[in-house]
Amino acid sequence: MDTARQSSRQTFEVYADYCQCYIGDSASQANTGAPSFWSDAALRDSLAVTPDLLGVFTLDSGRVSVVVDIADTPPGDDLGDWEYVVEASIQLPTGRLVIDGCTAWRPNQSPSISLRPGSYRARICCDNIADGAEDWDDHAEQYQIVLWPAPDAEPIVLRQKS
């Protein structure tokens, strides 16, 4: 990512229990237990999308590193060496972005970032994806999420591990 565009960066360690973590507005009431949340398309794309909550499917069921970059403009077309890259829109009406695992999701206690309320685009990049690793303790899946103000648009997979 072009650092001239970056306005802030925060790093989190998230417990991705049940191989998922959530990124969403602190007031989200999304029904993550509904069959439509982790639909066939969401599982294929490793991303569940609701207007104010994104579910990221991880291969690790444990701690994952998540770096969140808040930018003023889109990150550009260079996807670097990331193994997997997807984009989706997210509404943040409260301006409080929460990042946490699915069973740890407590919007008033989970790690959060304060932003201007509004519509954002999220580019979610993943690296160090497991290939049937037998020793999960030695595996360290890494995520970078870039958020910038943008109107709603359809989710898109920019790179998928083959």
Scanning the structure block, which residue is given the tokens 């999308």? Answer: 49
DSSP 40: H
pTM assigned to the model? 0.86
pLDDT at 2: 44
Question: Which domains does the chain carry?
Answer: 6-159 (2.60.34.30)
Edge-to-edge strand order for the sheet containing 20-25? Answer: 47-50, 53-57, 20-25, 96-101, 112-114
Q: What is the tens place of the pLDDT at every residue in 101-156?
A: 888 777 777 889 999 999 999 999 998 765 444 544 544 678 999 999 999 999 99
Using the predicted structure, report yes or no on whether residue 41 has a pLDDT greater than 60. yes
Residue 67 to residues 8, 85, 119, 136, Cα–Cα distance (Å) = 10, 14, 20, 21
